[in-house]
Amino acid sequence: MDTKAFETLRTERLDDGLLLVTLNRPDVRNALNTQMGRDLRDVFVPLAFDASDVRSIVITGAGDKAFCAGGDLKERNGMTEAQWRAQHAIFEEAIYGVMNSLVPVIGAVNGAAFGGGCELALACDFVYAASTARFALTETTLGIMPGCGGTQNLARAVGARRAKELILSGRPFTADQAYEWGLVNRVCEPAALLDATLDIAKAIGANGPIGVRQAKKSIQRGMDVDLRTGLAFEVEAYNRTVDTEDRHEGVRAFNEKRKPKFAGK
């Protein structure tokens, strides 16, 4: 995958197939405007079909105040219904692109993640957060509701009853609460957040990419079906790893007491 210049994002290719995506509108707390939706869509939608040489992705926000403050309400002020719906369709494509990425996507939530910003974090496979981060799905305080996966992903992360409390009230919650409830995997000191997130992303990227992608797919599909169907899907996903060069390389490297060199084949 080639990176290119985006108006609202910074994309950096790091070692081991790691892609770092930074929401880059710090002057407005990385608020999600139409162009950011387009840029995120352009990065992530293709990754649902072709991972290329990308093995893991980290999303974070520029600056130290916000991951993403949610939808840009100044841009939305005065929009017609048709314009609002058209913009929201772009946001849907962007968020669903994150969710459908073949490779793992990890959120490094460095500050406020409100509204659509919280939905973006929830769309990631898992999240590390700064101790100063705060989360909220504030849409009901604006007369609307979460519409980019928030009602579905939050309930799956923290349970339906907690999700109802948070979404219906619109009240913010802390990184420690998010960790306690299962939305966040790890809370870090702000200065250590990005390094910690990149470290786990590199660990994922060093593993067999076919196995990682199949395992991610098996977990996601299994969450939506009964156990017996999930087990059947798991075996099918497993079988796709057997006839691969990576499987042979992994066993060979173990027996030769060296690190494997996975090619994704």
* Residues with Cβ within 8 Å of residue 8, at least 6 apart in sequence: 23, 24, 25, 33, 35, 36, 39
Which backbone phi and psi does 263 adopt, to 5 degrees?
-110, -5
Whether 33 and 23 have beta carbons less than 8 Å apart is answered as no
Q: Which residues are catalytic?
A: 119, 139
Contact 8, 24 (CB under 8 A): yes
How far apart, in whole angstroms, are the C-alpha atoms of residue 225 and residue 120? 24
Helix and strand counts by DSSP (H, E) for the chain: 11, 10
Q: What single letter denotes the amino acid at residue 169?
A: S
Q: What is the separation, in whole angstroms, between the first and last Cα of the chain?
A: 17
Checking 190-197 for CB contacts under 8 A at 24+ apart, the result is: 190/64, 190/110, 190/130, 190/131, 190/132, 193/60, 193/108, 193/109, 193/110, 193/128, 193/129, 193/130, 194/58, 194/60, 194/108, 194/110, 196/128, 197/58, 197/60, 197/106, 197/107, 197/108, 197/128
